[in-house]
């Protein structure tokens, strides 16, 4: 039996996967399952060995270069089937790379995770300075490139992203006259929303020149450039103090050796009665390392932290952790919407880049989706304060504020969280 067949025999029990090898021979694995779409994949010469050596990276690269062709189903169907058979809860090791690949992966992670200031701007530009047209094709109209908040899984991505902003702003308890800092402000959507709903003055900072340009254009178009400002600056170089700090989808790029620096700087930037809200992807389990595909093609220097690693960053700084929320499936719903829009925009994305880029991007979104559906990823929202009296002693104020903010957008509040 070929190694690839031995691997698939172990990896696929639920769902039917048909393998067509380079010599034309074929074999099916698993059994039909109504919850999993059947998949037929054709492997070209050399693809088998690459997949067996490192299932995740090998599958990604053979799919990107076309030596893995899907004759039935798509890449999302394939990754869903394989990961559904190896869910994080079962601790199945079938999909792990070889020991050699595991070792080299950890070494690459240790080298890349330092993420000093001189590297951060380059790492951010690798992903966020891609064509603005690309992001227009799959994001919501406000360009929220982070986990949405689905009060109902049936909601549109536009509604869920509005609800995400309301959910976060409600936790911040922003009052008139406050100054707010948005670390990693993206294209400015959160900063503009904060000002529009609370009247607070906001400073958004980013390391992406493309994001800075668009954020400033949006503030100017809204006539609020004097109240919502954006700067190209590393958080470590910032001076002054703010009543509220928010950071959404930026912490994954900080690097574990810099967690202490990050939290110490945030505490320094927070007024004595100030509050911070950190929104980040996180590991449900123990610390790990960034997979080779993500480091190489998507987020160089990026790392998704375990909750224990985040805790080590703020412990001892006299920075109160005042609230923690775990969002389990919200990012899965978000990524599925992005994936569907990306697939629908195939021709436009190929015109922008090429077919290989389109395959890389769909693999990235599909792989991220299954990491939340079947893997060990979640989202954490952590709230911090310098003072124990900065916030009400119960969480009731959050719900009350969220209801009010959602009412402003005409959306009813449905208590359905996952």
More confident residue, 336 or 102: 336
Same-domain check for residues 50 and 129: no
Q: How far apart are CA 278 and CA 171, in angstroms?
A: 11
Residue 417 has pLDDT above 50, yes or no: no
Q: How far apart are CA 161 and CA 191, in angstroms?
A: 14
Q: How far apart are CA 333 and CA 89, in angstroms?
A: 20
Over residues 291-315, mean pLDDT: 94
Is residue 211 in a domain? yes
- The token duo for 30 is 């698993």
**Of 48, 72, 97, at which residue does a domain stop?**
97
pLDDT tens column, 235-245: 999 999 999 99
Same-domain check for residues 255 and 362: yes
pLDDT the model gives residue 404: 96
pTM for the model stands at 0.91
Is residue 103 in a domain? no
Same-domain check for residues 33 and 167: no
pLDDT the model gives residue 137: 96
Same-domain check for residues 127 and 212: yes
Q: How far apart are CA 106 and CA 111, in angstroms?
A: 9
Cα 51 to its chain centre, rounded Å, is: 25
Residue 144 has pLDDT above 70, yes or no: yes
pLDDT tens column, 185-210: 999 999 999 999 999 999 999 999 99
Same-domain check for residues 153 and 215: yes
What number of other Cβ atoms are within 10 A of residue 296's Cβ? 14
Neighbour order of strands in the sheet with 179-183: 228-232, 201-206, 179-183, 242-248, 270-283, 377-385, 320-327
pLDDT the model gives residue 416: 39
Residue 94 has pLDDT above 90, yes or no: no
> With pLDDT > 90 as the criterion, what percentage of the chain qualifies?
83
Same-domain check for residues 341 and 257: yes
Domain containing 50 equals 3-97
pLDDT the model gives residue 45: 92
Mean pLDDT of the chain: 91
Same-domain check for residues 79 and 136: no
Q: How far apart are CA 118 and CA 124, in angstroms?
A: 11
Q: How confident is the model at residue 344 (pLDDT cuts 50, 70, 90)?
A: very high
Residue 98 has pLDDT above 70, yes or no: no
Is residue 417 in a domain? no
**Of 97, 129, 162, at which residue does a domain stop?**
97
Is residue 202 in a domain? yes
pLDDT the model gives residue 107: 52
Is residue 106 in a domain? no
Helix, strand, coil share (%) of the chain residues, nearest 5: 50, 20, 35
Q: How confident is the model at residue 371 (pLDDT cuts 50, 70, 90)?
A: very high
- Taking a C-beta distance cutoff of 8 angstroms, is the pair 193, 222 a contact? no
CATH of residue 32's domain is 3.30.1050
For the chain, how many structural domains are there in total?
Answer: 2
Report how far apart, in Å, the C-alpha atoms of 294 and of each of 150, 158, 273, 361 are: 26, 27, 39, 11
- Taking a C-beta distance cutoff of 8 angstroms, is the pair 337, 151 a contact? no
Is residue 418 in a domain? no
Over residues 161-170, mean pLDDT: 98
Q: How far apart are CA 77 and CA 328, in angstroms?
A: 21
Is residue 316 in a domain? yes
Q: How confident is the model at residue 113 (pLDDT cuts 50, 70, 90)?
A: low
134 phi, psi to nearest 5 deg: -60, -50
> With pLDDT > 70 as the criterion, what percentage of the chain qualifies?
88
Same-domain check for residues 128 and 251: yes
Same-domain check for residues 303 and 398: yes
**Of 72, 97, 122, at which residue does a domain stop?**
97
Same-domain check for residues 227 and 301: yes
DSSP 42: E
Is residue 414 in a domain? no
- Name 163's Cβ contacts closer than 8 Å, sequence gap at least 6: 148, 149, 150, 151, 155, 406, 411
* Residue appearing with tokens 């991505």: 157
Same-domain check for residues 220 and 325: yes
Same-domain check for residues 165 and 115: yes
Over residues 26-33, mean pLDDT: 97
Helices (H), 12-54: 47-53
CATH of residue 197's domain is 3.40.50.150
Q: How far apart are CA 166 and CA 382, in angstroms?
A: 16
């Amino acid at each position: 039996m070929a190694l690839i067949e031995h691997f698939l025999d172990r990896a696929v029990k639920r769902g039917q996967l048909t393998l067509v090898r380079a010599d034309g021979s074929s074999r099916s694995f698993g059994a039909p399952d109504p919850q999993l779409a059947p998949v037929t994949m054709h492997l070209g010469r050399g693809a088998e060995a690459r997949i067996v050596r490192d299932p995740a990276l090998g599958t990604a690269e053979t799919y990107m270069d076309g030596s893995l062709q899907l004759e039935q189903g798509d890449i999302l169907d394939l990754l869903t089937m394989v990961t559904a058979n190896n869910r994080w809860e079962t601790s199945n090791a079938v999909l792990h790379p070889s020991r050699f690949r595991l070792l080299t992966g950890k070494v690459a992670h240790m080298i890349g995770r330092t993420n000093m200031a001189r590297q951060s701007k380059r790492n951010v530009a690798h992903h966020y300075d891609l064509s603005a047209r690309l992001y227009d094709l799959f994001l919501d109209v406000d360009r929220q490139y982070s986990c949405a908040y689905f009060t109902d899984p049936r909601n549109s991505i536009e509604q869920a992203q509005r609800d995400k902003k309301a959910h976060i702003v409600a936790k911040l308890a922003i009052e008139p006259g406050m100054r707010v800092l948005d670390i990693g402000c993206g294209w400015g959507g959160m900063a503009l929303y904060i000002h529009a709903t609370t009247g607070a003055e906001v400073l958004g900072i980013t390391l992406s020149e493309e994001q800075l340009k668009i954020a400033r254009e949006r503030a100017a178009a809204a006539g609020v450039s004097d109240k919502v400002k954006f700067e190209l600056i590393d958080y470590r170089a910032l001076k002054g103090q703010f009543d509220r700090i928010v950071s959404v989808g930026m912490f994954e790029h900080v690097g574990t050796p810099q967690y202490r620096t990050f939290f110490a700087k945030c505490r320094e930037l927070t007024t004595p009665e100030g509050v911070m809200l950190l929104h980040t992807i996180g590991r449900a389990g123990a610390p790990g390392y960034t997979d080779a595909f993500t480091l190489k093609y998507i987020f160089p220097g990026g790392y998704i932290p375990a909750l224990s690693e985040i805790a080590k960053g703020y412990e001892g700084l006299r920075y109160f952790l005042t609230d923690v929320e775990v969002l389990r499936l919200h990012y899965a719903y978000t990524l599925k919407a992005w994936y569907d829009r990306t697939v629908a925009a195939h021709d436009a994305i190929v015109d922008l880049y090429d077919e290989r880029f389109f395959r890389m991007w769909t693999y990235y979104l599909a792989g991220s989706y299954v990491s939340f559906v079947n893997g060990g990823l979640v989202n954490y929202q952590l709230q911090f304060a310098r003072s124990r009296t900065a916030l009400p002693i119960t969480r009731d104020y959050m719900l009350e504020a969220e209801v009010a903010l959602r009412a402003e957008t005409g959306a009813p509040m449905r208590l359905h969280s996952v």
